[in-house]
Structure 1
């Protein structure tokens, strides 16, 4: 599958100039800085290793759109490459621009400013003090004139005669040094310093030019028979110094070879994620089969902005392989183990034919719109609160595959149960592609009455988990916070149910019920104080009213603010108690515990209420064992598993 040998750097650079070696389109642009280039030049002069180069034979199964290295342009048609660079682009491009390009190298200075530089070798410094070789590699601007700056003497190399006089050899002539040598000799021939100058050049020729021109480096060449997945894996293993490529970039390069711009197609779809454009696109998809709504358009865009290009490709792959599997199963001569597996793994995406992408892309986009609508119904307002962005992939594929009946009540109920089992069972935090491949067919079969999906079956929620849910790092934390919003939690200060305008304009977030400062003063355990059991969605203004006071202190203030908001400013404080009790109940909070500052009673009662809510949405009974004294007789003793708690805390962190 590959061949390993040594090749001369000069030969590789000449092939770059001819176009027989090029870059696959997915390779990122050349980004090396000026100082990096000078260090690389110094390494070659010293004959130090600069790393291996990995190439791929062109013309095989793996077809990528290609381009010449940075800075190289051809008159007329660009030639077809024979080899593609998988690893070594930055080094080869740097050396090409510094030696054979014929124009100043385009790079960056230490201030990240775009600059153009020519490179010279100071012959005397190189020969007299090889240990200071880096100082002997000199760079000058594109006009070859370096002005005096901050005490550093300027340098004028705008003519060959000035180069000869200063004995600065242009690196761009190193592979074709004879003509420069001729001019150098002619310049010094009639002078008294000729003998010394000629001796300098002769030594420079022997000690620098000749070894530079003979410099070799290891080259690994992958055969054209290599599969795309193997090429991509190899590229990522060797590309440790760069940003890891994702499947989208590799598929983009592959489709470009067939004249299809996947990146433009994706960003065209992504641009529809905002405001009225997304709703207009959604309406066109509906094509009279569904009734689109104009409310929540902003909210839809804020949720779908989380969808990445790789998520979209995964959804397309799920839809495509599901159809292929159905066709295989209709072929009675094909054994079940030979049927296509429903998959969205990396290898599946990389092998996805362009024709199948084009067949399923619109359907996948519709699925994500439906998924966004579904998530709005579940109480989500923004992408940062999604427990698992990745779960949108199977959700979109499922909702797309269900057809026009995707929002039927019985169907929605099962999709909701599957979704919340995934979130509160915390099942999408590890290797998830295999679960995606099972989710799509299993949920659809479940809706058809053919068994329970693995995600629903596997979901488990331990009561002690509530004690360890303290930050947004936890998927279950985010999910439970959103469920409180879905259950029509109302603002304590205004009494208004939380909707789009309140959420975005009043900065809804999750805040402490018993303030953290108060809990600390009372000696309440920090973990309990910061548990989600002691938090609820509140506006920023309401949280400021609460401050650090005990509930018995801040509740009268909230009642007063509520009465004022209702136009009952003259009413005595306390008259709004009934209304305030109802507002607290909308957050699964029992008012009597707050009015008595009874933290433990509040904590255990809220545990029971939230467990009941969780049990309802996942469709499973949650076992609560034993009894626990919490200031009130008959409160349940909840299962405490220190090992599990510690593990989950580590995951959350």
Structure 2
């Protein structure tokens, strides 16, 4: 990564870069929330020559999931293989500038439309007054000019104003067009560094999750791959099976375990984009096979009853390499593995490290070899008495309930099978 260098860019270069698709707003940025009044204040600062802060761009050839449109402005996709500047800091200011200087109509989430062409300069205002305004009630239209008309209006439009305003019109237009915008480009940085910079800059906002980073990293427009959408599709597939509460973290662990046999944060961030995309469909299929196996073989009716979500990656790894039903010994060894992990508190801590260890055991099971375990499972009456205090959130209690579910207990009232999930409100 090269050390960032402060630079300046002119108004025309900034707008042109946006229009050509060279400057993009990555998906992990929050939505545009500035009001027209605040945007007017930004233009007012520019006209008065005040500093408006520095834009920080991440320059890269990586193609991320980005916000393509500002308002109704259809902006081109970046040219594949060329550098793109993704906005790490300043997207509210940048969007305000573009919307104000281009007269964009923005449709908000609540359905309200803000017409940024309705931002005006009060030609009667003094330098100490608010020059750029949005509230023009009671104002004489001869004393007002929109930012849009000021910048792109023809000679006749500007000449139609009284002579006394011509000097101001020329001055304000020159101030906007000659303003030097301060930028810093972060070059040749991997995505985890870029998102870390974003997180540190936006200290008042929400830190990016690993999933959000991987959504950005693995996005591929040509291959129509959007991890966020793919994850939602997976949950929709699992919903009829009552396993739709599987977390995005568990899914990332699964893909990483399949590709690298590790699932720590750094291991996930190192996954290649092409490898991730190429593996996704089979990884998704292995997760779905795991869910079916848990439901049909262990009779676990809902995902909330699983002692640990971390049980999904090793079983998915098994079904990735062995899509068919386990053979006799494989089935026996998998069941032994499941209950050893569930009843021993195996994944109560250091989950990523233990998963990496356990994948070696799954490899042994795939080879129909009995794994060696370096932890014990206490099933004594005394241990169960001491540790069996009830809380539906405890993994140990969930494991006990899974045993009950497997045995299919029957009601004393009508001899029907008791649904454990409904009984304990899972």
Same fold (TM over 0.5): yes
Is the Cα–Cα contact under 8 Å of residues 150 and 169 in structure 2 kept in the other structure? Answer: no
Distance 1:508 1:398, change over 3 A: same
Cα distance 1:51–1:248, how it changes in 2: closer, same or farther (>3 A)?
same
For normalisation by structure 2, the TM-score amounts to 0.76
Give the match for residue 607 of structure 1.
none
Q: Deviations over 1:470-505 (max 9, x none)?
A: 453x33343334433334333344342214xxx68x
Q: 1:359 & 1:108 partners in 2: Cα distance?
A: 37
Mapping for residues 53-132 of structure 1, pairs under 5 Å: 53-59=55-61, 62-64=62-64, 68-70=68-70, 71-73=72-74, 82-87=83-88, 88-99=90-101, 101=102, 103-108=103-108, 112-117=110-115, 118-123=117-122, 126-127=125-126, 130=129
Match of 1:19 in 2: 20
Deviations along 1:444-488, whole A, 9 cap, x unmatched?
33675465346x459997864444x5453x333433344333343
Shift of 1:5: 0.6
**For residue 508 of structure 1, what is the aligned residue in structure 2?**
423
Q: What corresponds to 2:290 in structure 1?
A: 371
Alignment of 1:193-342 (within 5 A): 194=164, 198=165, 202=167, 212-213=176-177, 215-223=179-187, 225-240=188-203, 241=205, 244=208, 246-247=210-211, 250=214, 254-256=218-220, 259-263=223-227, 269-273=234-238, 298=240, 301-303=241-243, 305-308=244-247, 311-321=250-260, 342=261
1:123 Cα deviation after fit:
1.9
Q: Once the two structures are superposed, what CA deviation does each residue of 1:345-369 show, in whole Å capped at 9, x if it has no partner?
A: 4444444345534654344234223
Task: Provide the C-alpha distance between the structure 2 equivalents of 1:470 and 1:122, rounded to a whole number of angstroms.
Answer: 65
- In the superposition, the TM-score normalised over structure 1's length comes to 0.53
How many residue pairs get matched?
413
Distance in 2 separating the partners of 1:66 and 1:16: 15
Structure 2 residue aligned with 1:170: 146
Render the CA deviation track for 1:159-212: whole Å, top value 9, x for unaligned. xxx74x1x22312245558x57x74554324xxxx5xxx3xx656866x66655
State the Cα deviation string for residues 287-318 of structure 1 (Å, max 9, x = none): xxxxxxxxxxx4xx212x22355543432332
Instruction: Render the CA deviation track for 1:253-293: whole Å, top value 9, x for unaligned.
Output: 5451653424465555554335xxxxxxxxxxxxxxxxxxx
Q: 1:47 to 1:452 in 2, by over 3 A?
A: farther
Map 1:242-641 → 2, pairs under 5 A: 244=208, 246-247=210-211, 250=214, 254-256=218-220, 259-263=223-227, 269-273=234-238, 298=240, 301-303=241-243, 305-308=244-247, 311-321=250-260, 342-353=261-272, 356-357=275-276, 360-376=279-295, 377-402=297-322, 404=324, 406=326, 408=328, 410-429=329-348, 432-445=351-364, 448-449=368-369, 451-453=371-373, 456=375, 464-467=386-389, 469-470=390-391, 472=393, 474-499=394-419, 507-509=422-424
CA contact (8 A) 2:318 2:362 kept: yes
Cα offset, 1:97, TM superposition: 1.1
CA contact (8 A) 1:31 1:90 kept: yes
User: How far did 1:138 drift?
Assistant: 0.1
Deviation readout 1:124-174 (Å, 9 max, x if unpaired): 6752763xx49x52069xxxxxxxxxxxx588xxxxxx74x1x22312245
Deviation string 1:59-108 (CA, Å, 9 cap, x unpaired) is 3xx34466755243369x97666432231333212210111x3x433143
Contact 1:307 1:389 in 2 (8 A): yes
Change over 3 Å in CA distance of 1:392–1:451 after alignment to 2: closer
Provide the rounded CA distance (Å) in 2 between the counterparts of 1:139 and 1:107.
Answer: 19
Please give the alpha-carbon distance, in whole angstroms, between the structure 1 residues aligned to 2:63 and 2:327: 42
- Pairwise CA distance, 1:379: 4.3
Query: Is the Cα contact below 8 Å between 1:390 and 1:428 reproduced in 2?
Result: yes
Shift of residue 436, structure 1, vs aligned partner = 2.3
1:215 offset after TM fit, Å? 4.6
Indicate if the aligned counterparts of 1:23 and 1:86 stay in contact, CA closer than 8 A: yes
Question: Unmatched 5+ residue regions in structure 2?
Answer: none
Q: Is the 8 A contact 2:255 2:283 kept in 1?
A: yes
- Aligned pair in 2 of structure 1 residues 23, 186: CA closer, same or farther (>3 Å)? closer
Q: Distance in 2 between matches of 1:379 and 1:269?
A: 21
SS of the residue corresponding to residue 196 of structure 2 reads: helix
State the partner residue of 1:52.
54
Query: Contact (CA 8 Å) 2:217, 2:273: kept in 1 or not?
Result: no
SS at match of 2:126: helix
Matched, 1:138 2:134: yes
Distance 1:416 1:351, change over 3 A: same
- Higher relative contact order (Cα pairs below 8 Å, separated by 6+ residues): 2
SS of structure 1 residue aligned to 2:409: coil
